[in-house]
Amino acid sequence: MRKTIIAGNWKMYKTISEAIELANGLKRELFKLDAQDIDIVLCPPYTALSEVSEVIADSNLKLGAQDCFFKDEGAFTGEISPLMLKDVGVKFVIIGHSERRQYFGETNESINKKTKAVLRHNLIPIVCVGETEEERERGLTFQVLDDHIRNGLKDLTEEQIGQVVIAYEPVWAIGTGRTATSTQAQEAQRYIRDLLAKFYNKEIAESIRIQYGGSVKPENIVELMQEPDVDGALVGGASLSVDSFAAIVKRANEVKK
C-alpha cells in the first residue's frame, strides 16, 4: 500500500509572519491525523523555512522546499543547496515545477541533476511532470510524460527511484480552476506507472507514489483520491488558507483504498 502524501506548494506567497500563522493554524487543525497514515508536507518560500520548521517541529507536519540547486556549496549567487535545506529541517524538495520550466529555464537535464543531489542527501524529491494545453490538444500528452520521466529521472538506481515522489501536474490545470477530471488524472498517472514498470520493474513501479496537482480543492479531492493511481495531491492556491488545506488533507485521509 502506498502512503498518501498531500503537499502544499505555497509558491511566492506569505511573509514570515503570515507563514507562521498559517503553519500554526494547520498544526492545530491537523494534529489528530496519524503521520503513519499520511505525509502532510508544507513547502513555504525559502525565507520562511526556518520559522515554519520551528513551528512544526514535533508535529505530524513535514517541511518541504520548492526547489534547490544541485551543488552542495560554491560561488552560485542566489542559489540554495540541498545541504542547506537539510540543515533547516527540510525533508521533501519539489523539483522541476512547470513554473520553473516555463519562467526559469529548467530542463530535464537540470531536473535530473537536482533530483540526484536531493537523493544524495537523503531528502525526498517531488519531481513534477505534465503537459501544456497545446501539447494535450495536439495529442502529445503521453509523449511529453515519456520525455519528462525518461530524461528527468535518467540513470537513477532502483533504490533511488524507490524514494522519489512524482507529481503529475498538467500545466493547463495549474491555477486555472480547470482541474483535470479524475479520469484524465488516472489515465496519465497509470501511464506514468507503466513507464516506471518498463524502465525499472513492476514491483518498484507499484511502490512509487504519484500525486496529482492542478486546481485541487476540498470539493474535488475525494473524487481524485478514489482513482487507483492517485496517491495524493500537490496543492497550490488552496494550500494558502488553513480551512481549505486542512479540509483537503482530512478528506484525502478518509479515502481508503
Provide the minimum distance between the beta carbon of 129 and ligand 13P in the complex, in angstroms, as a whole number.
Answer: 12
Among residues 99, 106, 135, 169, which one is catalytic? Answer: 169
- Residue 236 found at the interface with ligand 13P (CB under 6 A): yes
The stretch near ligand 13P (CB under 6 A) out of 23-31, 72-80, 188-196, 232-240 is: 232-240
The burial class, CB within 10 Å (0-12 / 13-18 / 19+), for 203 is exposed
Which position's Cβ is nearest ligand 13P? Answer: 236
Respond yes or no: is residue 187 known to be catalytic.
Answer: no
Nearer to ligand 13P, 27 or 97 (CB): 97
Which residues have a Cβ under 8 Å from the Cβ of 108 and sit 6 or more positions away?
A: 96, 147, 148, 151, 152, 154
Respond yes or no: is residue 169 known to be catalytic.
Answer: yes
Q: Which residue has the cell 500525486?
A: 211
Backbone angles phi, psi at 154, to 5 degrees: -60, 140
The residues in 132-191 that bind ligand 13P, with binding defined as CB under 6 A, are 169, 174-175
Of the chain, the end-to-end C-alpha distance in Å amounts to 8
Q: Which residue has the cell 532502483?
A: 158
Backbone angles phi, psi at 38, to 5 degrees: -145, 140
Nearer to ligand 13P, 200 or 215 (CB): 215
The residues in 18-77 that bind ligand 13P, with binding defined as CB under 6 A, are none
The residues in 99-118 that bind ligand 13P, with binding defined as CB under 6 A, are none
